[in-house]
Structure 1
Amino acid sequence: MARALYLLFGVLAYLVFFATFLYLVAFVGNVPQAPVTVDRGGAAGPVPLAVAINLALIALFGLQHSVMARKGFKAAWTRIVPEPVERSVYVLLASLMLILLFAFWRPIPAIVWSVETPALVYLLWGLFGLGWLIVLLSTFLISHFELFGLSQVWGHARGAEAQAPVFRTPFFYKRVRHPLYSGFILAFFAAPVMTAGHLVLALGMLAYILVAIVYEERDLVGLFGKDYEEYRGRAGKLIPRFGRGG
């Protein structure tokens, strides 16, 4: 019975994540059908207050996303949460943090830049779409369903033992260590019209990404040792590295 419940919870957590991810694309891209976006629908107010609230929302997401991913936290957390659903709980809480950001985000409409040349507008929208495509493809390259908790609950339901992590560098990962983050950065900054509120989101997420990479790579070195150390020497952090080193 517990295995079936864990599987159901994992599937529901994944569906919440996927819906939240799709809304994030609409939120950042100011899709007209979305009720609230980075530039539309939020409460009005003084700019300093809006900046403070928006940064607090980004920090809240970043803290949850990074702290819960650390090995020490997981060891303590799994004394409370059953190990098969640990990743699903993480994914669900990360989704809830983003939903909270959508709900309380304060638009700041001041224009930072506005591109009017049609060719450049199309180029920026193309880069926006490419960024999200890179994000999604990167998750599948490193096991999408494990990353979002489905593999764990499915394996537990079947009575299969968890497999030890294997160090691999497929496709993007041969040249860049964090293509998923590279895709997010591209998607957040590729905007024909960049408002102050949108820029706060883009810069805030960039700051979170740069901090998160430090802790993630420390964990990866601890997990894979020399293999990952050598990999860092031949692959770029966020920008692909080519040539002999790559």
Structure 2
Amino acid sequence: MAKSENHTIAKVVALISLVLSAGSLLWFAAFLYAGSFSVLDLGLSFCWALLLNAGLSLAFFLQHSIMVRKWFRVRARKCLREPYHGVLFSLSSAAVLLIVLTAWQKSSCLLFSAEGVSRLAFRMVFAASVAGFAWGGRTLRSVDGFDNHSLLLRAGNPQSEIDRLATRGPYKFVRHPLYFFTLLMIWSCPDITADRLVFNVLWSGWIVTGAWLEEKDLVRDFGRPYRDYQKAVPMLIPWKTLIRR
């Protein structure tokens, strides 16, 4: 296949990936901000609704965690050309996330609701977290969170290499700033229903576990430079910055 044809196909795939990935993330951000909502009300009982929500969460965790493992990537290379691996992950994650958001069942059991100044404080934390997440995403321009730039670059020049270790911007304060800001967004909702509490606990646990597992992969991939980075910068909580102040 000619290089120009490769690049045209790559552009189409990258555009689809960008639209679905960005759309799912924006909807997810709305979910985090507004509190849980139900798009498709299945009329389930309280317990069954929570079990379904937990199952939906588990499905996303499994898809996401399995596809980032090295053994999966090795097997994927046998069926898919190298530039498309990251985009396959982005498309799959977006699709599963959209299913989670569509099928999520909201509970009428309100456990906590902040009012007045405290509610405003929760909203301010959320806004700051979104800004921090955008900062982290901008820092990842050379790392390419959706792998679209990687796809386009390698389709045009298969020998091109992309730097994957980011240590600037928010990465100077915490090794996983996108996870950190996501945790803040998760817990900054001023209205906690029973289903939202299930969501917060499960997704927070998955993020912490995922960061820990990712550390092992990063140490294997980068070796001593990453181990030095681990010694200098905290994993999820920027406690060293707080101590300095």
- TM-score if structure 1 supplies the norm length? 0.89
Inter-partner Cα distance in structure 2 for 1:227 and 1:179: 19
Residue pair 1:40, 1:107 contacting (<8 A) in 2 also: yes
Residue pair 1:17, 1:91 contacting (<8 A) in 2 also: yes
Q: Please give the residue correspondences for 1:204-223 in structure 2 after superposition, counting only pairs within 5 Å.
A: 204-223=202-221
Aligned: 1:105 with 2:107? no
| Aligned residue in 2 for 1:174 | 172
| Aligned residue in 2 for 1:44 | 43
CA separation of 1:229/1:156 partners in 2, compared to 1, >3 Å: closer, same or farther?
Answer: closer
Inter-partner Cα distance in structure 2 for 1:168 and 1:145: 7
Inter-partner Cα distance in structure 2 for 1:167 and 1:28: 29
| Aligned residue in 2 for 1:124 | 122
CA separation of 1:60/1:228 partners in 2, compared to 1, >3 Å: closer, same or farther?
Answer: same
- What amino acid is the match of 1:23? W
CA separation of 1:229/1:92 partners in 2, compared to 1, >3 Å: closer, same or farther?
Answer: same
Secondary structure, aligned partner of 1:113: strand
Of 144, 147, 168 in structure 2, the residue corresponding to residue 146 of structure 1 is: 144
Task: Kindly report structure 1 stretches of 4+ aligned residues shifted beyond 4 Å.
Answer: 243-246
User: Following TM superposition, by how much is the alpha carbon of 1:162 offset from its aligned partner in structure 2, in angstroms?
Assistant: 2.8
User: Following TM superposition, by how much is the alpha carbon of 1:200 offset from its aligned partner in structure 2, in angstroms?
Assistant: 1.2
User: Following TM superposition, by how much is the alpha carbon of 1:40 offset from its aligned partner in structure 2, in angstroms?
Assistant: 3.8
Residue pair 1:132, 1:183 contacting (<8 A) in 2 also: yes
Moved more, 101-110 or 151-160: 151-160
Q: Which runs of 5+ in 1 are unaligned?
A: 31-36
| Aligned residue in 2 for 1:239 | 237
- What amino acid is the match of 1:199? L
Secondary structure, aligned partner of 1:146: coil
Aligned: 1:27 with 2:31? yes
- What amino acid is the match of 2:221? L
User: Following TM superposition, by how much is the alpha carbon of 1:230 offset from its aligned partner in structure 2, in angstroms?
Assistant: 2.1
Residues 45-103 of structure 1 deviation map (CA, whole Å, 9 limit, x = unaligned): 22221121111111111111111111221111121122111111110000001111012
Inter-partner Cα distance in structure 2 for 1:124 and 1:244: 20
Inter-partner Cα distance in structure 2 for 1:109 and 1:82: 47
Q: What is the Cα-based RMSD across aligned positions, in Å?
A: 2.1
User: Following TM superposition, by how much is the alpha carbon of 1:222 offset from its aligned partner in structure 2, in angstroms?
Assistant: 0.4
- What amino acid is the match of 1:8? V
User: Following TM superposition, by how much is the alpha carbon of 1:20 offset from its aligned partner in structure 2, in angstroms?
Assistant: 1.0
Inter-partner Cα distance in structure 1 for 2:29 and 2:241: 34
User: Following TM superposition, by how much is the alpha carbon of 1:143 offset from its aligned partner in structure 2, in angstroms?
Assistant: 2.5
| Aligned residue in 1 for 2:222 | 224
| Aligned residue in 1 for 2:13 | 9
| Aligned residue in 2 for 1:201 | 199
User: Following TM superposition, by how much is the alpha carbon of 1:240 offset from its aligned partner in structure 2, in angstroms?
Assistant: 0.3
Q: Which runs of 5+ in 2 are unaligned?
A: none
Secondary structure, aligned partner of 2:88: helix
Inter-partner Cα distance in structure 2 for 1:9 and 1:141: 23
Inter-partner Cα distance in structure 2 for 1:63 and 1:139: 24
Moved more, 155-164 or 228-237: 155-164
| Aligned residue in 1 for 2:56 | 57
Secondary structure, aligned partner of 1:242: helix
Residue pair 2:135, 2:170 contacting (<8 A) in 1 also: no
Inter-partner Cα distance in structure 1 for 2:147 and 2:166: 19
- TM-score if structure 2 supplies the norm length? 0.90
CA separation of 1:121/1:106 partners in 2, compared to 1, >3 Å: closer, same or farther?
Answer: same
Inter-partner Cα distance in structure 2 for 1:245 and 1:188: 25
